[in-house]
């Protein structure tokens, strides 16, 4: 199984400041088609998760442009350019490259 | 508007069974892979099972193999998860999720159905 490891697990951020979340995979997520099979999701309190970023760096429909994804192979980063209060919640990375599909442990972003 | 509405959760005793249903609307159900993802109370997300467009391919996480069965009825726009031999550790919110083959991602999630396994 591919193990997904996120850091940090808790991230306090002041509104207006940037935030970075790291995700590492135990195997390369770079497919032979040239795409990295790595997604980012945000689960706000009391809600279902929502897709933010797919294939490593493509912003999902409805995701604000302050969110961006980067990285390749086994190391990936989610960046929030200027954190807003509504960004509070738990962020998960996920690999859909092979079954079993696996998630990172989650990073809880809290607003200072 | 894409909608996925789960039903069928509740309290069940260890060793018991429950069937979750997911009614979908707003898209052509028969052209999408579908998935169940679960979340134990206060814990992270865990992929449980997926099924291809016509139901001929199914995959499961090891911990539920032989106990859970995912199925679909494309004529009723519905997804199902039959859960047998339930264990306390199966207690979780179960999400019905659409998989986008284009995006290689879970692009739409239901509101979740809570299954509590307890005596």
Full strand arrangement of the beta sheet holding A67-72: A4-7, A19-25, A75-80, A67-72
List, for residues A53-71, the tens digit of each pLDDT value: 999 999 999 999 999 999 9
A92 interface with B at CB cutoff 8 Å: yes
Average of per-residue pLDDT across A12-35:
97
- Beta-carbon separation of A58 and B110 below 8 A: no
Nearest residue in A to B113, CA atom: A48
Of B46, B104, B109, the CB nearest to A96: B104
Nearest residue in A to B59, CA atom: A99
Answer yes or no: are the C-beta atoms of A72 and A56 closer than 8 Å.
Answer: yes
Task: Please give the C-alpha separations between residue A69 and each of A1, A60, B95, in angstroms, as whole numbers.
Answer: 23, 11, 25
| Alpha-carbon gap: A83 to the closest alpha carbon of chain B (Å) | 23
Confidence (pLDDT) at A64? 97
Q: How confident is the model at residue A96 (pLDDT cuts 50, 70, 90)?
A: very high
Confidence (pLDDT) at B80? 98
Residues 6+ apart with CB under 8 A from B111: A48, B4, B5, B6
Average of per-residue pLDDT across B48-64:
97
């Amino acid at each position: 199984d591919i193990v997904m490891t996120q850091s940090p697990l808790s991230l306090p951020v002041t509104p207006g400041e940037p935030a970075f979340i790291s995700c590492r995979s135990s195997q390369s997520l770079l497919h032979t088609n040239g795409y990295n099979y790595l997604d980012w999701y945000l689960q706000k309190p009391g809600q279902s998760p929502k897709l933010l970023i797919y294939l490593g760096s493509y912003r999902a429909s409805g995701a604000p442009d302050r969110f961006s994804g980067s990285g390749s192979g086994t190391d990936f980063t989610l960046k929030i350019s200027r954190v807003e209060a509504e960004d509070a919640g738990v962020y998960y990375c996920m690999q859909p490259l092979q079954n079993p599909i696996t998630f990172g442990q989650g990073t809880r972003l809290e607003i200072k | 508007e894409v909608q996925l509405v789960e039903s069928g959760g509740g309290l069940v005793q260890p060793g018991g069974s429950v069937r979750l249903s997911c009614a979908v609307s707003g898209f052509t159900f028969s052209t999408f892979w579908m998935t169940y993802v679960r979340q134990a109370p206060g814990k992270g997300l865990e992929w449980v099972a997926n099924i291809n467009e016509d139901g001929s391919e199914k995959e499961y996480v090891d911990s539920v193999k032989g106990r859970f069965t995912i199925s679909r009825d494309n004529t009723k726009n519905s997804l199902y998860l039959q859960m047998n031999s339930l264990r306390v550790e199966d207690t979780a919110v179960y999400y019905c999720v659409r998989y986008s083959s284009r995006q290689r991602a879970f692009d739409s999630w239901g509101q979740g159905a809570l299954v509590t396994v307890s005596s």
